Structures are given as structure tokens and as C-alpha cells.
Structure 1
Amino acid sequence: MGVWNRIRNVWAALTMPTANLEDEELLDWLGITTRDKRKISEVTYFTCMKMLSETMGKLPLKYYQDTPEGKIRADPTDMTRLLTVRPNPIMTPTTLWSSVELNCQHYGNAYVWIQRNFLAERYGGEVINAGLWLMPSCDVTVLIDDAGIFQEKGKLYYQYTDAKTGELYVFPQEDVLHFKTGYSLNGIMGEPVRKIIGSSIDGALESQNFMNNLYEQGLTASAVLYFPAGELDERRRKELRNRYEKYLTGSKNAGKIVPVPIGLELKPLNMSLTDAQFFELRKYSALQIAGAFGIKPNQINNYEKSSYANSETQQLAFLVDTMSYRMKAYEEEINYKCLNPKEIREGYYYKYNEKVILRTDSKTQMENLASAVNNGIYTANEAREYLDLPQKDGGDILMVNGNYMPITMIGQQYRKEGEGNEGSEDQG
């Protein structure tokens, strides 16, 4: 009887329609949503989303191994090719990771289904019919098995509903890469920035709409039409108002002369964007939104207090303050779910190359590489690899200046013969 009840509960969990509290259409129908689907059209919000997604998309993912000799580049595996060469037949890695970050920032969570052949992978064979597939965040519901229906109490499952066919799929947590924002109260689900600072984004969107309407009206202010009381009924008032709106609004009517009959007076209302500090408030709202995303002022085209050196510092601060957290979160999820236990034991891991964000001009790059080679930090072949040049024979030897000596030997070259040995014997 217990087995039958368990099977029945599983079937009910899979077939019973569930209310997704992240579904915007459902919330709109219930009248309890405060989110605006047009938020992505707000220019600061769009710029921040674009900056984060493109930055994540251009970061190359590298495959390494920790060995007794140190970190080395590991030979690629089938999973490495999916992560770095072609995740699936229709996406490049750049497209996949950019889309993942967009979903993550806009919805708070992003999900990637790992399609793989467990049997082949377990025995070291070729992984066939494999791929990494982005699941739209709005079509995924996270379930936690707190009752032990699937015999593992507390395990997560991801329910994906195909928006076109209506088919429902349930994946265990090992088969789904789950990326979330940094704001998560329960550690399972992330919260999107647009939900937390929705009022600021709404205000910026309204100011943008106001400017758009102002341009559509030909930068013409609202006006008041004076006429003798009692001489016009409601119908004629509407006709007169519509006529003057047609004459006065729109860029095509800008600068044209509008005839006004005797007895009527058309008086524009005073409107001053300067007095209302419109642009100052809009700039302040943009900085608030960018700050919530971790975007620096120069990245939203605010160069008011920026210089060339200051912009470079802001780019470094963006890497340290914003992207380092995002990269670490991605690396941890990928290393946990894309490596098998054998690879983890042998020290294999994936890591993003964050140096692409800090690329400098060619002159500075050559000076840095030359300094690293001359001081024994890089070999010549390692420096050539940064420049996408082939390796050369003899280029794997570390070189240093022959005039250098240990600090403990400073001054010994000025001593007379025998003084150094006597000092050494005395010390012994």
C-alpha cells in the first residue's frame, strides 16, 4: 500500500497544474503584479543588462588541472567542448552565456539543461547526443522534495513546461545548471534587480516616456483655450480642442502659425525642465539603477567626472566588485555539475580568464610581456601564446638578468678574497 501511495503521489505531483508565482500573466490576471514588462525598454536598465550579459559572454572558460608541478592546461573532454566550443547545434558559447546572464538578471534565475549520456560518461566512453540547452526562466518551476516522494528528501527538481507544445519535463538537480543573482534570502532562488528597485526603474521609464511624448508633440507645451462661458456646448468644445491639438502637436507643425478666431485666446502653460531639475533627477536615477547592478558611471556613458585614467580604474573596479562574484558563482556551479567524481579527485577544474576585461593597448601589452619574460615570470613561449603566435624551440626556459643576486649576498662582491669565507665560518 505504501508503494502504491508513493506512485500516486508522484503522478499527482507531475500532472497536477501548479500556480507559478513568477508567471507575469497570472499575476496580471489576479491584479497583484507591480512589474512592468516594458522595463527592458528603459535605457539605463537595458544598458546594464547589455553590459553584464556581453561581459559574461566574452569571458573565455579554460580547463585546468592541479598537479604537483602546478597548474597546467588540461586536454579537452567532451564536456569541455560543449562548454567552450559548441553547447548545442544552434548556439555558440558566447550566445549561450550571454543569454544565461540576461535571464539571470531579468528573472533572478537562469537554468541550463545538461543533456548527456550517463552510461557512456560513467565508463569513459564518448558522450553522444549531448548538449547544453538554455531553458527560459519563465517556463521553469523549482520544486523541492521535502516529503521524500522521490526517495531523496530535500532534493531539488526542475519542472520545465514547453511553451509551444505544453509538454512537461522534470529534471533532477544534477542535470540543471542553476545560476542566480547575488540577492537570495533562501540560497535557492535569486531575486531580480527590477523587483527590488522597481520604483526607481518605473520612475526612469516614466521620464523617458515623458521625453518621447514631448518630442512627438514637437516640443510644444500644453495650452489653455479661453472662450466666453456658455457659448460652446460640450460637443463643440471637443471639436475645437481636437482641431487645435491637430494644429499644435507633432514635429511637422513646429513653427507653424495657428489661426485663432476673435473671442478665443490660446495661452500656453509654463513648462520649464530646468526649474523641475528634470535632467539632474534623471541622471541621479540612472546612477541609482546602475549602482544596483554594479555598473560603473562611465559604463552608462556618464563621463562627467571621468578621465582616461579614472575610466581604467572604474573598469578594474567593475572586475573586482561585480564580475569577480559572477565568475566565481558560475565556476562553482559548472565545476560541481559538469565534472565527474574522477575528474574532481584528479584536480581538474574550469576557470574563467578574467584578463580579457583588462586588455590594454598594444604598446602597454608588449611592455608588460617583455618585463614578465625578462624577470622570469613568463617563458618566451607563454608570452607568445598571449599574442596568438606559435611556440619556438628553446622558448620554454625561464630567463633572468645575470646581474641579479640574492639579497643575502649584497655587498659580498666588494669584499677581499677570504673575508667572505671567514665570515661564514664565524657565523657557523
Structure 2
Amino acid sequence: MGFFNSWKAKKTKKNTDGWYQLADFLGIDVENTPKSALSNATYYACLKTLSEAIGKMPLKVLSHPTTGGVREEYNHPLWKVLHDRPNAYMPASFFWSTMEFNRNHYGNAYAMIVGAGRDMQLYPLPSSAVELWYDNAHILRDVDDVYYIYAGNDGKRYILSSDEVLHFRNSATYDGIVGKAVKTVLSETINANIKSQKMINNLYDNGFSGKAAVYYTGDLNDDLVKTFSKGIQNFIDGKYEKNGIKNVIPLPISTKMETLANTRLSENQFLELKQYSALQVAAAFGIKPVQIGDYTKSSYASAESQQLSFLVDTLLYIIKQYEEEITYKLITSDKYYAKFNVDVILRADFRNKVETLSTAVNSFMMTPNEARAKLDLSNREGGDVLVGNGASIPITAVGAQYIPNYEEGGKN
């Protein structure tokens, strides 16, 4: 297929920077990515947190069998595609992380659907190279639909219908079709953070010293002034450290240097303002302060509750969107549906996990084998029967100890 060949050509595009090759391979448009935005530590940390959160959750295919309940469909044709490897070039964790990265950074993430069933492949599309059209005038095709027009690396334009593309959008959207990038909403805050970081870098480069005035007697022409000033600046910048000169600036006789202004970050409340800006960026992503390294109001217990809050307040909305889009466009039968396993976000320590599973078994909620599976243990004979009440009485025999001459089946 011409489109797939174009994707492969883009993947193998020569570039001397390894990061650009990796980003290009993952579908991230490095040419049109504002590098200043990604250089902001808080912004990058938020993208990383959300991308890894989606990537670490296994995506499963489940069903509602006629006997009731829910069952994992390991033999479903799409299980391997969704759970293990969406395409031949990346595992599921990288693929879904890439989708989430593009969804936040660009406002929209796209994946092209190729093939069907066990042969299906999902390929990420560069978000900046995709244009959306709602063709109710039948200009592109004879069917009213949202069409995705992709500008391929080979110079061609490919028209894909809505059932050929998985589309995940940011929650900030005016029409429900096209998402708005977080960096666009927070452009002023992110730019302020970038400027503050540049200020810190400049202060480090200048040894945290402000601008200075040099007083000297005599007349110097412009060229000599430049040479004189450059020599002093070289000492300030530490260019003679290799010669053992670090904190000394030699001045000629009758020359005096005076600092114009000292840079006091505390007086300008710089750190407080920088922290406030970082929290603004994190709040826009739905990221908790502890997840960007702000532990000022955190403890171990609150961090655990914040993780639960992160799942409920932030991830559930994102996860629901993924599950709805995948189920609608990839799974044809109403019997099956796709669902992320959110338990990995709330993994408890081994003791709490065992106690929780024991309670579930003793309350007839889970069979012993189902509980063992949660601990990655093998099944045991007789472990598929619901037991409980501490004495491990099968649910079908509850109260039997009070019936004289009880026989299996509830008869006496």
C-alpha cells in the first residue's frame, strides 16, 4: 500500500540526531514541535506522566458470556494487537504512550487501521500532518463523513475515512471533533517558565553576579574599550580556570569595578512565582503536585490518596475515551469490548494485596483460583468453587451444618 510505504520512508529518514530518529519513528513531528515548550521541565514531566500512565496499563478484550459476569478473551483476534503489539515496529506500551503524548502535545492523536482480525496493524500518524474535513458536500467521497487527509512524506495526500483512523482528542475542544493542544491554552505560562529557566541559566553562567560598571582614568577609543571589557568578562566567565584563576579579576591601577545591582531571587519571590507557574501547568494536565516532584504538602499516606485521585479525576476520562473509540472502530461484535486494567495504577504492597484478596474470597466475591491469578500463581484443584465464612464452606452449602442428615444438593 502506498500509504504504508510512505510511513516506512519517513521512518528511515536520515538524521544525525538519534532523538530525532526515535521521535520520527514514534510519529512525533519533530520539525514542527516547539522545542522551547518541551524544554520546560514541568511541561515535559506532565507529558511523561500521562504518557507512561496510559502505556503501563494493559489493554484487554473482555466479553459478557451468556452465563453472566465478565471474561477475558485471550483467543480473540484482536487480543495480541491491543494487548501486545499493535504493529511490527513497537510494543503496546510504546504505541499507547505515543498516542497519549500526541493527544496532549498536539491536541489530537491519530492511528491508521490496516487490515482486520489477527492481521490488523495500527500505525501512528504525525498529528501535524493530518487535516480533518467534514465532507457534507460530497467533495471527497459520496458519503457524509469526517475524513482524515494525511500529507505523506512522499508528497502525496491520502484520504482516510473515519473508520480507517483511530482518533483520540484532548478534552479541550469546541466542536467535539478537533481537540485543542494544552500548550496552546497555556502558552503564556509555559513561555514564562522558559524565560525564568533561561534567567537561572544566565545567572549560573555569570556566577550569580549582576552587571557591573568599570571606572577608569584616561581616554580609550572604542576598540580599546571593547578589548578592555572583553578581558574582564573572560575572567568573570571563568575562561582562565584551567590556569588556576577562578575568583580573581585583575584590574589596572586607577580602575574600579562596581556592581550595578545584586540579583536577589528571594526579594523578587522568584522561587514562589516559579513554583506557582509549575503548579498551573500541572493543573491543566490534571497532574498532582507530588507527581512533578512537589512534596511540600505531601506524606506517604497523602501520596497514595493522590494516586487514587489521579486515577479518578484525570485518567478515567482519558481511559474511557480510548476504550470507546477502540471498541467502536475495531470490535464488530456487541459481545466484546476493550478495557484498560487500571489495577496497575493502584498496586498496593504485598501484605495489603493479600488481605484484600482474602476478604474477597471469604466474601464469596472471588474463587481462590481467581485470587491466585491476581498474584500470578497457578491454579489449584478445587479452587474454582466459591468459598467463604472463614470455614471455607461452598456457597451452595451455606447453612448445611444446621440441617440433620444433610446430603449434597440440599436434600435430607
What is the TM-score of this pair, normalised by structure 2? 0.82
Q: Which residue of 2 aligns with 1:71?
A: 70
- Tell me how far apart the structure 1 counterparts of residues 92 and 73 of structure 2 sit (CA, whole Å): 19
Aligned residues: 360
Of residues 104-113 and 147-156 in structure 1, the stretch that sits farther from structure 2 once superposed is 147-156
Residues 217 and 171 of structure 1: CA distance in aligned 2, closer, same or farther (over 3 Å): same
RMSD: 2.3
* Cα-to-partner distance string for 1:265-296 (whole Å, 9 max, x where unaligned): 11123111111111111111111110011000
Q: Which residue of 2 aligns with 1:258?
A: 249
**C-alpha deviation, 1:399, in angstroms:** 1.2
**How do 1:174-323 residues align onto structure 2 when only pairs under 5 Å count?**
174-228=163-217, 231-250=219-238, 253=241, 255-268=246-259, 269-323=261-315
SS at 1:336's partner residue? helix
Q: Specify the code of the residue in structure 1 equivalent to 2:57.
A: L
Residues 394 and 275 of structure 1: CA distance in aligned 2, closer, same or farther (over 3 Å): same
**C-alpha deviation, 1:80, in angstroms:** 2.5
Q: Which residue of 2 aligns with 1:53?
A: 51
- Tell me how far apart the structure 2 counterparts of residues 25 and 237 of structure 1 sit (CA, whole Å): 42
Q: Which residue of 1 aligns with 2:362?
A: 374
Of residues 59-68 and 306-315 in structure 1, the stretch that sits farther from structure 2 once superposed is 59-68
- Tell me how far apart the structure 1 counterparts of residues 390 and 237 of structure 2 sit (CA, whole Å): 80
**Contact kept in structure 2, 1:63 and 1:76, CA below 8 Å:** no
The match for 1:363 among 351, 359, 366 is: 351
**C-alpha deviation, 1:300, in angstroms:** 0.5
**How do 1:125-204 residues align onto structure 2 when only pairs under 5 Å count?**
127-128=118-119, 130-152=120-142, 154-163=144-153, 165-204=154-193
SS at 1:239's partner residue? helix
**C-alpha deviation, 1:205, in angstroms:** 1.0
**C-alpha deviation, 1:310, in angstroms:** 0.6
Residues 80 and 152 of structure 1: CA distance in aligned 2, closer, same or farther (over 3 Å): farther
**C-alpha deviation, 1:146, in angstroms:** 2.6
- Tell me how far apart the structure 2 counterparts of residues 287 and 321 of structure 1 sit (CA, whole Å): 16
Q: Which residue of 2 aligns with 1:93?
A: 92
Residues 131 and 400 of structure 1: CA distance in aligned 2, closer, same or farther (over 3 Å): same
Q: Specify the code of the residue in structure 2 equivalent to 1:40.
A: L
SS at 1:358's partner residue? coil
**Contact kept in structure 1, 2:234 and 2:240, CA below 8 Å:** no
SS at 2:81's partner residue? helix
**C-alpha deviation, 1:135, in angstroms:** 0.6
SS at 1:267's partner residue? strand
Q: Which residue of 1 aligns with 2:381?
A: 393
**C-alpha deviation, 1:71, in angstroms:** 1.7
**C-alpha deviation, 1:151, in angstroms:** 4.8
Residues 105 and 305 of structure 1: CA distance in aligned 2, closer, same or farther (over 3 Å): same
Residues 252 and 103 of structure 1: CA distance in aligned 2, closer, same or farther (over 3 Å): farther
- Tell me how far apart the structure 2 counterparts of residues 170 and 152 of structure 1 sit (CA, whole Å): 13
* Cα-to-partner distance string for 1:149-193 (whole Å, 9 max, x where unaligned): 245454111111223x22322111101000011100111110111
**Contact kept in structure 2, 1:106 and 1:192, CA below 8 Å:** yes
Residues 266 and 51 of structure 1: CA distance in aligned 2, closer, same or farther (over 3 Å): same
- Tell me how far apart the structure 1 counterparts of residues 326 and 53 of structure 2 sit (CA, whole Å): 18
**Contact kept in structure 2, 1:65 and 1:348, CA below 8 Å:** yes
1:334 aligns with 2:300: no
**Contact kept in structure 2, 1:218 and 1:252, CA below 8 Å:** no
Quote the sequence identity (%): 40
Residues 191 and 251 of structure 1: CA distance in aligned 2, closer, same or farther (over 3 Å): farther
**C-alpha deviation, 1:403, in angstroms:** 8.2
Of residues 243-252 and 281-290 in structure 1, the stretch that sits farther from structure 2 once superposed is 243-252
- Tell me how far apart the structure 2 counterparts of residues 359 and 402 of structure 1 sit (CA, whole Å): 26
